[in-house]
Amino acid sequence: MGVGVQDAIHAGQKLGGSGLPPITRNTRLPNVTLSERPERSETGVWIGIFAIVMTFAALTSAMIVREGVALDWQHFQLPKILYLDTLILCFSSWTMENALAKLKEGESRFSEGMTWLCITLGLGGIFVVGQVIAWRVLAWQGLFLATNPSSSFFYVFTAAHALHLIGGILGLGYLIYKLNRARSARTTGIRATSLYWHFMDGLWVYLIVLLLARM
């Protein structure tokens, strides 16, 4: 076995990977800050995305069926803060990409990348606070979970998305903690986290369009 493979094994050990020789796609090469190879965590996130898509597809079909089977569906206006929330989440996808770009550039832009990651984290938090405000606005209007099937689905959809996003926030927080400790971008899970974050963004855009059409 050549030197390259040995290095790869050491890199795998150092980076917390499996340490396998380049048999699998997981082995990261040394001196590459953000490898172009897919990481195991990225595969995991892709699979998770399929499951989450299925969950929201099931809820969507349930909503369409439920709206059609009875005449009790009441339309209502979505709280305006949701539009602001949408902008915030879209902006957070941009800040996440920005962070990745800085981290890819290497050690010299490391702290800049970290700053953008923290901004992304903060925007995610603001989004969740915005959702809570939207729920309070509806409650103030007398629209609760059980008031009408439309409000039931509104709360179910937004809460399900918020729960998934909180998962993303926790993941991003853990990533920032890991990066901060290692003081290096050679940490696994960066691309997986950003992939999940963008998916949460895309999912929210789908949901806001769906809710606008149905509520």
Partner 1 sequence: MNYSPTQLGSDSMHEVSTHPVAHQHTAPTGFIRKYVFSLDHKVIGKQYYGLALVSVFIGMVLSWLLRIHLAYPDYHIPFLSKLSAAGAPGGVMTPEYYLSLLTMHGTLMVFFVLTNAPFAAFGNYFLPIQIGAEDMAFPRFNMMSFWTTFAAFVVMMASFFVADGPPISGWTAYAPLSAVGRDAGPGLALGQDLWAISIAIFCIASLLGALNFIATTLDLRARGMSLMRMPYSTWAWFVTSVIALLAFAVLLPACVLLILDRVAGTSFFIPAGLVLSDRLQPHSGGSPLLWQHLFWFFGHPEVYIAILPSIGIVATILPVFTRRPLLGPKALIGSMVAIGFLSYMVWGHHMFVSGMNPFSANIFSIPTLIITIPATIMTLLLTASLYGAKMRFDTPALFCLGFISVFISGGISGFYLAQPSLDTYLHATYFVVAHFHFVMAVASLFGVFAGTYFWFPKMFGRMMSESLGRWHFWLTFLGVYCVFMPMHYLGLVGNVRRYSAFVDDYLAPLLPVHRFITIAALLTGAAQLIFLWNLIWSRFRGPVASENPWEATSLEWSTTSPPPFDNFGGKHPVVNHGPNELGVDGPDGTDFLMQTAAPKSS
Which residue in the set 33, 35, 40, 90 belongs to the binding site for partner 1 (CB under 8 A)? 40
Nearer to partner 1, 73 or 91 (CB): 73
Give least dist CB 199 to partner 1, A: 14
Q: How far is CA 208 from CA 2, 4, 157, 180, in A?
A: 54, 49, 10, 35
Give least dist CB 30 to partner 1, A: 14
The residue range among 37-45, 96-104, 165-173, 180-188 that interacts with partner 1, by the rule CB under 8 A, is: 37-45
Residue 153 makes CB contacts below 8 A (sequence gap 6+) with 59, 62, 63, 66, 214
Pairwise CA distance, residues 205 & 109, whole Å: 31
Give least dist CB 42 to partner 1, A: 9
The residue range among 36-44, 83-91, 170-178, 192-200 that interacts with partner 1, by the rule CB under 8 A, is: 36-44
Residue 168 sits in the site that holds partner 1 (CB under 8 A): no
Residue 4 sits in the site that holds partner 1 (CB under 8 A): yes
Q: Which two tokens stand for residue 181?
A: 């400790």
Give least dist CB 122 to partner 1, A: 28
Of residues 42-81, those binding partner 1 (CB under 8 A):
43-44, 47-48, 50-52, 54-55, 58-59, 62, 65-66, 69-73
Q: How far is CA 66 from CA 59, 70, 170, 215, in A?
A: 10, 7, 34, 13
Map tokens 């909180």 to a residue. Answer: 166
Residue 37 sits in the site that holds partner 1 (CB under 8 A): no
The answer to whether 170 and 128 are in contact (CB under 8 A) is no
Give least dist CB 10 to partner 1, A: 9
Q: How far is CA 129 from CA 5, 53, 68, 124, 165, in A?
A: 48, 24, 33, 9, 12
Q: Where are the beta strands (DSSP E) in 28-88?
A: none
Residues at the interface with partner 1 (CB under 8 A) = 1-2, 4-6, 9, 12-13, 16-26, 40, 43-44, 47-48, 50-52, 54-55, 58-59, 62, 65-66, 69-73, 145-146, 149, 152, 156, 160
